[in-house]
Amino acid sequence: MRVGRIPYINCYPVYGGIDRGIVALDATLVDGIPSALNRYMAQGALDISVISAVEYARDTARYLLLPDLAISCDGPVRSVMLFSRVPAERLGGRRVLVTRSSMTSVVLLELLFEHVWKARPLFVPADAEIADLARAEQPEHDARLIIGDAALLLSSGACDRARDYPFAYDLGATWKEWTGLPFVFAVWAARRDARGATVQAVHRGLLDSRAWGLEHLDELAREAHRRTGVAERTCREYLGDLDYALSYRHLAGLTDFFRRLAQEGLVPDGTLSFTSAA
C-alpha cells in the first residue's frame, strides 16, 4: 500500500506515532504538498492519502472517505491566511496571489470574496512555501493566499514579511463567521479499487497514530518549532486547536461547503461515500 502524507506540521498528530515506530503501518509513506497528493491519487500512484476536500468532491466516484479522520477547524485555523495590503473589500480588480499547493483553500477564498467581501480580484497562481517567502523578488500583488507552515510563520509574526501586510484574514474564522459551521480542509480517502482489508488495516493504524499524537502534542510542538522556527508555544496552541476527527458536525460543515460549490458549478452534486472501518 502507498499512503500519502502532507509534510506540513499540521499532519504531525496523525503520523507522529507511525514516524516513531510506536504504531506499525504496513505501507509506504509518500510525502507531497496537497495538490501533488491529489494528483497522485487521481493517477493511481497512491492507494490512500490525505487529500483536499475539493479533490474528493470533484470525483466522489473514485474515492471512499475514511471515517473519523480529517483536518478541520471550528474557528481560526492560523495556517490558511489571506495577507493583504488593503482591506479585502477593496481588492476588486487587484492582483491576489494564490498558492499552487491547495485546491480547497483557493476555492474557499473565491467563495469568501464572492459572498462575504463582495469583491472580484484577479487571482494569480504563485508559490508560497517558507523558502519562497524569503526571496527578495516577489510577483506584483496586493494580497496573497498562503497555507501551511509558511502561513503559520507569517501569522505568528515570526517572519519579517508579515510587516508588508497590515491586513490578515484567517479563512477558517471567516467561514465560521459566515456559516456558523466548522470547516474541513482535508480528508483521508482510499481509492475504490484498493483492497478492502488492507485499507481497513491502514485506517486503524492512522487512528492509533492519531491517538498517540493527540496525547503527545507537547513533543510534537517541540519538533514543529525546530522545523519551522515558529515559537514552541504557538505550535502547541496551533496543533491543539486543529481537529482531526470527522464527526456529524464536521460533516455538516463539509456538506454545506460542497453544496455551495455545487451551486457555483465548481463540483458535481455528488454524495459522500465512506469505506467500512469494520
| CATH numeric code, 80-179 | 3.40.190.10
Judged against a pLDDT cut of 70, whether residue 275 lies above it is answered with no
**Per residue in 212-268, pLDDT tens?**
999 999 999 999 999 998 999 999 999 999 999 999 999 999 999 999 999 988 888
> Residue 158 pLDDT more than 90?
no
What's the pTM? 0.92
State percent of the chain over pLDDT 90.
74
What is the β-pairing status of strands 122-126 and 2-5?
unpaired
The domain 2-72+183-263 is classified under which CATH number: 2.60.120.620, 3.30.1490.100, 3.40.50.720, 3.40.190.10? 3.40.190.10
pLDDT of 116: 98
pLDDT of residue 18: 97
pLDDT higher than threshold 50 for residue 50: yes
Gap between the Cα atoms of 26 and 206, Å rounded: 11
Residues forming CATH 3.40.190.10 domain(s) in the chain: 2-72+183-263, 80-179
User: In percent, how much of the chain has pLDDT > 70?
Assistant: 95
Looking at residue 59, the DSSP 8-state letter turns out to be T
Rounded to an integer, the average pLDDT of 3-12 is 95
pLDDT of 136 strictly over 80: no
Nearest Cα residue to 155 out of 202, 257, 144, 272: 144
Whether the Cβ atoms of residue 239 and residue 10 lie closer than 8 Å to each other: yes
φ/ψ of residue 165, rounded to 5: -125, 95
123 pLDDT more than 50: yes
pLDDT tens string 57-111: 988 889 999 999 999 999 999 999 999 999 999 999 999 999 888 889 999 999 9
